[in-house]
Amino acid sequence: MAHDNPHSDDPHHAHAHLPPDPALRVKALETILTKRGLVDPAALDEIIDIYQNKIGPQNGARVVAKAWSDPEFKARLLADADQVLREMDIYGRQGEHMVVVENTPETHNMVVCTLCSCYPWPVLGIPPAWYKSDAYRARAVREPRKVLADFGVTLPEGTKVRVWDSTAEVRYLVLPMRPEGSDGLDEAALAALVNRDSMVGTALTSFPEGTV
Amino acid sequence: MSRVHDMGGRFGDGPVEVDAKDAPVFKEDWHGRALALTLASAGLGQWNIDTSRHMRERLSPQDYTAFSYYEKWLAGVAGLLVETGVLSAHDLQSPESDAEAHPLADRALTADRVATVLASGGPADRPSDVAPQFKPGDKVRTVAHAGNRFVDGGHTRLPSYAAGVEGEVVLYHGTHVFPDRSAHGLGEAPEPLYAVAFPATSLWVIAEDDGDEVVLDLWQSYLEPAT
């Protein structure tokens, strides 16, 4: 394979100078960078802790539940998501320019990044493996309905699909439809119904959860 | 003329393997470490997000296909460190050797600054003197070939599947850094950015459903007025 015989002046083969096992490769790189004072291992622990435990789809679920509960909030969210999310203290890396797109009986929205793995981190966290997979990246734009079928989702007859390919620094969040029968629920109970995939557009929401 | 990462519309990938609902954020410990190393190294300020994407895209098709997601990130950050001269290939080969503090060490991201740095983000919108040529509702056509106009084989964010296609502007995002220049040290060259909707029937030989659409964010340089 190409990375077994690197050209030493080829930066895109630089990885070939590191050990072949990826876990050891990370460790080697961390060791080198730490020794030179370029990386603080405690800062790495902190980054991992934040994305593992603090920033995740619970943020997006809070936004969706509020939009389902408050029509004025929803209107502002759809018109200027950046402003509204900042008011909720949701902002940061990979979510600097946000647009929220609303699912309706007429239109189902779905988000992909065919060129890499762009994803709205501050509202959804780090993307799941399927979102970054070749199969999803390749197929979501050409056959979104067959991709939805892989997730067990069938759209009602007459619903059109709009796929958003995240080619710039704008990040998209899908506002799923509020499930029928959820009328009496407060925001916290509604937030519990909102699953991550429904905010990417590869799942629907239901009440009680799991009935779709 | 495309690269391997430009896979939108490609046939043959098989079903999407959906993760278990309770799948951990990082399946292996080294995944989180690779992500964190990448973010911390970017904090040294020697490259930008466009350079960084382009480095991953320049992996050979064999490596790009064979590598798992975070292996691509690792290869990317190793490549960037060497290309920008932060480290040498020799440094990478000798992790156990003694080393002196690096001239960039005072820029290292410290644990106490992590939360603030991640929360402050890195917006891509910039003031620009390039006037918007289009507005929502306008019909536009993408340029005939997806590719960097400044550097042969360079970075671009117009996917091949959407080249030479007619669509309609649905959103104007303001003026954003232009990756085709920014990835190559040619300045940020901010220009108008639009969301453009394309009918599935215009993009694909056989559309899955006639009413469906794909929307892409496209810079003004990728667009011409539709005639």
ipTM of the complex: 0.97
Ranges A16-25, A95-104, B137-146: which has the least confidence: A16-25
A–B CB contacts, 8 A cutoff, strictly below: 319
Q: Is A4 helix (H, G, I), strand (E, B) or coil?
A: helix
Can you give the pLDDT at residue B36? 98
Dihedral sign of CA atoms A178, A180, A183, A188 in order? negative
Nearest CA to CA, how far is A188 from chain B (Å)? 20
B70 touches chain A (CB under 8 A): yes
Catalytic: which of A116, A182, A198, A206?
Answer: A116
Give the pLDDT confidence of B138-189 residue by residue, as tens digits.
999 999 999 999 999 999 999 999 999 999 999 999 999 999 999 999 999 9
Q: Is A101 helix (H, G, I), strand (E, B) or coil?
A: strand
A7 touches chain B (CB under 8 A): no
Please give the sequence-ordered ranges of beta strands (E in DSSP) within B125-180, or none if there are none.
139-142, 166-176
Tokens 């990040």 belong to residue: A171
Please list the alpha-helical segments (H only) found in B122-215: 179-182, 200-203
Kindly tell me if the per-residue pLDDT of A157 is higher than 80. Answer: yes
- Enumerate the residues of chain B whose CB falls inside 8 A of the CB of residue A56: 25
Interface of A with B in 138-167 (CB under 8 A): 138-139, 141-147, 150-151, 160-167
Can you give the pLDDT at residue A19? 84
Tokens found for residue B42: 């970017």
Give the pLDDT confidence of B196-208 residue by residue, as tens digits.
999 999 999 999 9
B16 vs B97 pLDDT, higher one: B16
Can you give the pLDDT at residue A4? 41
Give the pLDDT confidence of B36-51 residue by residue, as tens digits.
999 999 999 999 999 9
- Enumerate the residues of chain A whose CB falls inside 8 A of the CB of residue B91: 32, 36
Mean pLDDT of the region A19-30: 92
Can you give the pLDDT at residue B143? 98
Looking at chain A, the whole-number percentage of residues with pLDDT higher than 70 is: 94
Kindly tell me if the per-residue pLDDT of B1 is higher than 70. Answer: no
Judge whether A118 counts as a catalytic residue. yes
Judge whether A206 counts as a catalytic residue. no
Angle between helices B69-83 and B49-57 (to 10 degrees): 110
Distance CA A206, CA A179 (A): 5
Mean pLDDT of the region B105-118: 96
pLDDT band at A124; cut points 50, 70, 90: very high
Nearest C-alpha in B relative to A43: B111
Tokens found for residue A73: 């909030």
pTM: 0.95
Mean pLDDT of the region A154-176: 97
Can you give the pLDDT at residue B99? 79
Nearest C-alpha in B relative to A164: B215
Residue contact A170–B71, C-beta within 8 A: no
* Residues 6+ away with beta carbon under 8 Å from A84: A63, A73, A76, A77
Can you give the pLDDT at residue A212? 58
Give the pLDDT confidence of A31-53 residue by residue, as tens digits.
999 999 999 999 999 999 999 99
* Residues 6+ away with beta carbon under 8 Å from A167: A113, A114, A115, A118, B157, B158, B159, B216, B217, B218
Interface of B with A in 129-148 (CB under 8 A): none
Judge whether A116 counts as a catalytic residue. yes
A137 touches chain B (CB under 8 A): yes
Tokens 């992790």 belong to residue: B95
Looking at chain A, the whole-number percentage of residues with pLDDT higher than 90 is: 87
